Structure 1
Amino acid sequence: MTTMTENASGLREFKMPDVGEGLTEAEILKWYVQPGDTVTDGQVVCEVETAKAAVELPIPYNGVVHELRFPEGSTVDVGTSIIAVNVGGGTVAPAAPVAETPAAEAPVQAPVQEAPAEETKPQGRTPVLVGYGVAESSTKRRPRKGAEIPAQEAPAAIQGELNLNGHGARTAERPLAKPPVRKLAKDLGVDLASVVASGPDGIITREDVHAAAAPAAPVAPAAPSAPEPVAAQPAVAAPAPAVAYDAARETRVPVKGVRKMTAQAMVGSAFTAPHVTEFVTIDVTRTMKLVEELKQDKELQGLRVNPLLLIAKALLVAIKRNPDVNASWDEANQEIVLKHYVNLGIAAATPRGLIVPNIKDAHEKTLPQLAQALGELVSTAREGKTSPAAMQGGTVTITNVGVFGVDTGTPIINPGESAILAVGAIKLQPWVHKGKVKPRQVTTLALSFDHRLVDGELGSKVLADVAAILEQPKRLITWA
């Protein structure tokens, strides 16, 4: 598998790789290079956001940047060329500025598209980094609609109104619209060429598409028989007020990337796995004292020590005592898959949305190792550098809503897992302790579990074990 091709002039095309498992597209967030810059093997040239995470892409060869095929903000299909690099050292015709091309239609050099697959694989090339390859079949472009007109045969008057497409031929200029708007038009059966654009610089908006789609039914039958304007014509503008919005009073944010994937996953989980949630309110005063003691421990110096660390350890001990809770449901084979390992997920709120990276083989880690892993996971998530691999293969998750001052909640299970533990805010409250009402540190835990896998007895045992350990943290030693 490869993400690059080379033509006779020494240009290599670096294609959008599949940086996850089966991802079909990614959005270019930022370019770190510009045309004319020198790049070296392994240098990061751009940052992209997939449906799972933001990822930096290194380029696997040396050369000079010839052209950026897409501007920042473009959503690009996997297997599509995103940057051309001159690796031959020769002179190459200057590339057109990327800003002149609509985000969804960046031009691609014709020789690259026409070269057979066998001829585009240069001998002795630098190996592509593992995980950045794409299947050969995924690099094929879909044929574009509309007949192609060779540039040399088109009349001059027509050529002035045509743009080069990705195959080196000229086609009628495409209406300007962002990828989500194009998809909306396709779903509604609206021809963008017939839509009146109201956006800046002639860009078609979602409202324009809705306005064009609403009167489609009455207009279609009337068009062949009515030679002059009839009632159908004014109807075009009628639906506009229903979909129009005041930009000063509303802001619309496209749902894409991590947020889009999270929304789809949560809906799928909520309506696929039968959720049951149980709650318990406990006195964690001893746990809070232990946290303060561990902060002074030499083995934990420089590591992140907080209540979440001991809660994570308590959950791991509870899973060890009740291993059947660590499972998944295989719908295709109608099997329950018992996991003999624990990849502990930690829900993290980031600017790009909620993500759930996990600590691999958390059940094997000592307390210092678990503290180090938690610290690295949180830091990476805050920087937006969590890799797709870090979010795959989780078995059980913890979500700490207490950091927002919330008492508890009914968390939705992460897809493919069996349970999720929500931790509420730890507050000083009146509590009966040794027969007397005293101020104690109290919190509420909530455990949601998949009732196909976990019955009420098993779920209750797991939650009770976590609670017992946090009330008497010495059990971490005796039960571990």
Structure 2
Amino acid sequence: MSDMSRIKTFNLPDLGEGLTEGEILAWLVKVGDIIELNQPIVEVETAKAAVEIPAKWAGQVQAIHHPEGTTVEVGTPIIAIDTDPGAGPLETPSTTATPSGDLPTPSAASLAAVEVAPAEGMIEPGLIGGAAPGGRTAVLVGYGPRTTAAKRRPRKGEVPAQAVATPTTSTIPAPQVHDRRGGASGGVLAKPPVRKLAKDLGVDLGTLTGSGPLGSITREDVQQAANGATVVVAEPIAAATAPSFGADREQRIPVKGVRKLTAENMSRSAFTAPHVTEFLTVDVTRAMKALDRLRGRREWRDVRVSPLLLVAKAVLLAVQRHPMVNSTWAGDEIVVKEYVNLGIAAATERGLIVPNVKDAGRLSLRELADALNDLVQTAKSGRTSPAAMSGGTLTITNVGVFGVDTGTPILPPGESAILAFGAVREMPWVHKGKVKVRQVTTLGLSFDHRIIDGELGSKFLRDVGDFLTDPEAALLAWT
């Protein structure tokens, strides 16, 4: 096998619908490593999610073209792999990235053509799309077809260029503070493959000190612990719990990734769709008792059951009565959808995301509970894929978990309604002619007034409220 055919360069694929760039969060391999087919090699953050990209070939890593913290455009070469390292040393050495992230000037010996990964077949499992259509292209080692330079985020402790020019500008600190054992939430921060490895090797992740990004636990950490290496339990760093302000007493946080995309989508939605919001306060005492009875059933004892489950079921049943609520404004037509991809707004370390349960209307109550639990856990772990956040048709935002009574939520782009579910509180309520202490919540429904008029919005909200007032009776009557 010739050197030209041995060295294959892999370009950053399209990791979502129309995404044009991604930030390299962490390299999971280094130059010289022997890697396997489909082994995760790099973690990349896009405007929608943080995803791991698997190796398209087995072999030895010859070059990493961009360091961690670099924002790279789709189609840019990011890594070179020798697919036949057993064939002996290469005649022309590959170019590797310098510690600063800048590629050195190629010498005459390093201008060997390499084979670029074909676009076809490189799609991350669970993601939408892949690399742009194309074929094989001969390029210089470490150089791709793009004409603009990659942008590198300032490293920790490194003063940005503008900070040097302007004395009052402070270094940008990381916006989130993480415990080395587990991240901002206090749990163990580890990716699913690492968790599986730890389980297989009998290693307790809670006893390890993470050496990966944000203090995450890596495969090497688990393997060292399994081989009898000394285990050190890290204590939280108290000094890092407060924001770091500069001399001007200001902190500057870059707007990028999920937060940037959310801001763009919400601004577009707010000034495109005419929003109307209605409110309904309901007595949910019976609904809370129904949840308690559900938790007591043998087949539900291992399932996390929350009021959100009943709210989701109420919305799905109300859609059956009022299908126009589950529609999209498409300019010269309204697209009414029979399926409901139910979005659940989730606050994560990376910002607000709205993954959705696909075809939720076809799920049983138990299947819906499992789907909601999986969705929430995946979002908390930061592993929500772009596919899980696309195609939503109707959304619930549970502001009650923050102790908030209700709100006026903004519609996700392409959707016609979003329901805010407020906190459930004990309040005085007139029940059967007497004032009693009951459990009460307030619902807020925002909708697109181009599609949903006041009558339709009011009927939909009323039906959701009726279900939550007496879910058992509603299930018997509506299904």
What TM-score do the two structures reach when normalised by structure 1?
Answer: 0.74
Q: Which residue of 2 aligns with 1:479?
A: 478
**Which letter maps to 2:305?**
V
3-state DSSP of counterpart to 1:397: strand
Q: Deviations over 1:45-73 (max 9, x none)?
A: 11111111111111111011112111111
What corresponds to 1:441 in structure 2? 439
Inter-partner Cα distance in structure 2 for 1:45 and 1:51: 20
Q: Aligned equivalents of 1:128 and 1:414: distance in 2? A: 30
> 1:362, 1:464 → 2: CA distance?
21
CA deviation string 1:349-407 (max 9, x = no partner): 00000000000000000000000100110010001000101011100000000000011
CA–CA distance in structure 2, aligned partners of residues 88 and 296 of structure 1: 59
Percent of residue pairs bearing the same amino acid type:
53
Asked if 1:134 is matched to 2:128, the reply is no
- CA gap of 1:315–1:13, structure 2 versus 1, over 3 A, is same
- Once residues 88 and 165 of structure 1 are traced to their aligned partners in structure 2, the CA distance between those partners, rounded to angstroms, is 19
Alignment match, 1:303? 303
Matches of 2:338 and 2:429 in 1, distance apart? 39
1:262 aligned onto 2:262: yes
Q: Over residues 94-148 of structure 1, what are the superposed CA-to-partner deviations in whole Å (9 max), with x where a residue is unaligned?
A: 644442334xx688999999859xx7578xx995346563124699999xxxxxx
200 and 33 in structure 1: CA distance in 2 versus 1, 3 angstrom threshold: closer
Q: How many residues align?
A: 391
For residue 391 of structure 1, the aligned residue among 363, 381, 389 is 389
Are 1:274 and 2:268 matched, yes or no?
Answer: no
What value does the CA root-mean-square deviation take over the aligned residues? 3.5
Q: Which runs of 5+ in 1 are unaligned?
A: 1-5, 143-163, 169-173, 182-198, 212-244
Distance 2:347 2:270 in 1: 19
Q: Does 1:205 align with 2:166?
A: no
Whole-Å separation in 2 of the counterparts to 1:427 and 1:138: 60
**Deviating more after overlay: 296-305 vs 338-347:** 296-305
CA–CA separation in structure 2 for the residues paired with 1:106 and 1:465: 66
* Structure 2 CA distance for aligned equivalents of residues 358 and 108 of structure 1: 47
- Secondary structure (helix, strand or coil) at the match of 1:99 reads coil
Q: CA deviation at 1:179?
A: 5.7
- Verify: 1:22 aligned to 2:18, yes or no: yes
For 1:39 and 1:274, how far apart are their aligned partners in 2? Answer: 53
Give the Å deviation of 1:203: 4.8
Whole-angstrom distance in 2 between the partners of 1:265 and 1:110: 48
Q: Which amino acid aligns with 2:299?
A: E
Describe the shift of the 1:335–1:313 C-alpha distance in structure 2 as closer, same or farther (beyond 3 A): same
Partner amino acid for 1:386? T
Partner of 1:57, secondary structure, is strand
| Aligned ranges 1:192-341 → 2 under 5 Å | 203-205=160-162, 208=165, 246-247=246-247, 249-331=249-331, 334-341=332-339
Displacement of 1:86 in angstroms is 1.2
State the shift of 1:473 in Å. 1.0
Shift of 1:408: 0.6
Q: Which residue of 1 aligns with 2:341?
A: 343
Shift of 1:246: 3.7
CA deviation vs aligned residue, 1:14-70 (integer Å, no higher than 9, x gap) = 110001011100001111111111110010011111111111111111011112111
Give the Cα–Cα distance (whole angstroms) in 1 for the partners of residues 104 and 372 of structure 2: 42
- Aligned-residue offset at 1:301: 3.1
Indicate yes or no: 2:63 matched with 1:67.
yes
Per the normalisation by structure 2, the TM-score is 0.74
Partners of 1:9 and 1:88 within 8 A in 2: no
| Change beyond 3 A, Cα 1:32–1:26 | same
Runs of 5+ in structure 2 lacking a partner?
169-244
2:385, 2:377 → 1: CA distance? Answer: 13
Larger radius of gyration: 1
> Contact 2:12–2:78 (CA<8 Å) still a contact in 1?
yes
Q: Which residue number corresponds to residue 368 of structure 2?
A: 370
